[in-house]
Structure 1
Amino acid sequence: MPIWVRLPNPPLHFWVDQLLEEVGEALGDFLMVDVESSDILHSTYARILLDIDASKGLPTEIKILTPKGFWIQSLDYEGIPFRCRRYFKTGHVTTKCDLERVKVKKPSS
């Protein structure tokens, strides 16, 4: 499903369509860069539209190789109605997360 992905505060040299497209392809099928993202003087994030299978989970960050090493870019997703904030699984919220449920052991008598 098409999902807008925000890349908050990327370094200035990452703010080019070609690099944003490469990031998008690493996450899913790249569709487009938001034209508003091109205005780096008036934006605090870059925004790309991707076709992603959200049922497989959505990463919270991506590691990008740079000439000086690696950059860890955080990711934020728009328009996902129910998403666990802890495990980023779609279809439920954290309070009803099966991964969060812990069986309480009864004390032995």
Structure 2
Amino acid sequence: MSTTKDIHLSWEEPVSPPLPTRRLVNPELLRLIMRRTGTGARLSIRQLAELVDIPHQTVGRLLTGEQTDIEGETAQAIAETVGVDIDVLWIPIQRAGLRQLGPVAEPETAVAA
């Protein structure tokens, strides 16, 4: 009597590390891009919130500057929804006591004599 063993193979998708928390570069830039997204459409606060699946109050606080930091996945979703690269709107930051990353310094320009 022979027995067979069931072999179950499963292919799991590799798990990507979470995106770092991001800080909004400039609330006015987000507001401007919402007025004319990458597709040419205009997005209201409520429309953007619905598309990204976040509370509209979060979008409102980002636009007023009351809130500046947001989870990386949400920052990515906002950037994709308005049609820009994540680095246009957001800079990565570190958490709790670790070194904070900031905007890249502007290059110095030579002064003509």
TM-score (norm 2): 0.30
TM-score (norm 1): 0.31
The structure with the greater share of residues assigned to helix is 2
| Structure with greater contact order relative to length (CA < 8 Å, sep ≥ 6) | 2
The structure with the greater share of residues assigned to strand is 1
Structure ID, larger Rg = 2
